[in-house]
Structure 1
Amino acid sequence: MSDIKVEGFKSSEILAQLAQVFENFSDEEKKQQIKKTNGIFELQVKNAEGKEGVWTIDLKQTGTVYKGKPKSKANVTLILSDETFSQLAEGKLDGQKAFMSGKLKTKGNMMFATKLDGVLKTAKSKAKL
């Protein structure tokens, strides 16, 4: 759990909370979330000091969040700043606007990237992010 948090990354706090939400899901809730999302997000986040952290949200097999590259191929890789991810998670920034303004870059299935918003909203409703 604590290995998700990285000093200097606000997004790692949010991802740690997301991991906690997934852990607290009942088996049924986890199955539903995996079925609904059915994919893997790789997040490449750069903080204010220019350091990069990589996290994975696996909603294809395990329904988990962990630090590091995905164990199997990600459906989409999102490249963004720590600040942009925080704003997305808090609902202050729309994913499409972030993409259009160049704050968010993607590699892989761009349409799948739109599912991240739903994942963050689900987590936010379960835990106060």
Structure 2
Amino acid sequence: MSDIQVEGFKSSAALAALAKVFDSYNEQEKKNQIKKTNGIFELRIKNAEGKEGIWTIDLKNTGTVYKGESKTKPNVTILVSDDTMQQLADGKLDGQNAYMTGKLKTKGNMMFATKLVAVLKATKTQAKL
């Protein structure tokens, strides 16, 4: 799991915490989360130095978070800065607001992207971010 958290990407700590929450789920909890979300988010996050990191939240097949491109076609690819992703994870920024102001861009199913904030919110209390 340490490969999820990457030096220079503040938001990777939130993704690592999310992965920890998913890992703590029993099979039924994992199935429920997969059934509720039913899709794959590919996050392309740019940090302050302009480097891009890619993470995948798979809530279609495995109920996991991992570093790297999606192994299957994602429902949505989200392009976002590290700061914006951190604000989304902290609940300080609304996803729709981020999209409308150009801080967040999507490729693929834009409506599915709205589920990301719900996933982050649902696990935030468990992860104690």
For this structure pair, what is the TM-score category when the shorter chain's length is used for normalisation? over 0.9
Q: 2-side partners of 1:127 and 1:107: how far apart?
A: 28
Name 2:59's counterpart in structure 1: 59
Matched, 1:32 2:35: no
Tell me the SS of whatever aligns to 2:118: helix
Q: 2-side partners of 1:97 and 1:105: how far apart?
A: 11
Q: 1-side partners of 2:127 and 2:77: how far apart?
A: 25
How many angstroms does 1:15 deviate by?
A: 0.5
Give 1:61-80 correspondences, 5 Å limit: 61-80=61-80
Matched, 1:92 2:92: yes
Tell me the SS of whatever aligns to 1:10: coil
Cα-to-partner distance string for 1:62-101 (whole Å, 9 max, x where unaligned): 0000000000000000000000000001000000000000
Matched, 1:13 2:21: no
Aligned-pair identity in percent equals 72
Name 1:2's counterpart in structure 2: 2
What's the RMSD between the two structures over aligned residues?
0.5
> TM-score normalised to the size of structure 2?
0.99
> TM-score normalised to the size of structure 1?
0.99
Q: 2-side partners of 1:26 and 1:100: how far apart?
A: 37
Tell me the SS of whatever aligns to 1:92: coil
Matched, 1:126 2:118: no
Alignment size in residue pairs:
129
How many angstroms does 1:5 deviate by?
A: 1.1
Tell me the SS of whatever aligns to 1:2: coil
Name 1:107's counterpart in structure 2: 107
Q: 2-side partners of 1:69 and 1:58: how far apart?
A: 11
Quick one: which amino acid aligns to residue 59 of structure 2?
L
Q: 1-side partners of 2:70 and 2:112: how far apart?
A: 16
How many angstroms does 1:122 deviate by?
A: 1.1
What runs of 5+ residues in structure 1 fail to find an aligned partner?
Answer: none
How many angstroms does 1:127 deviate by?
A: 1.4
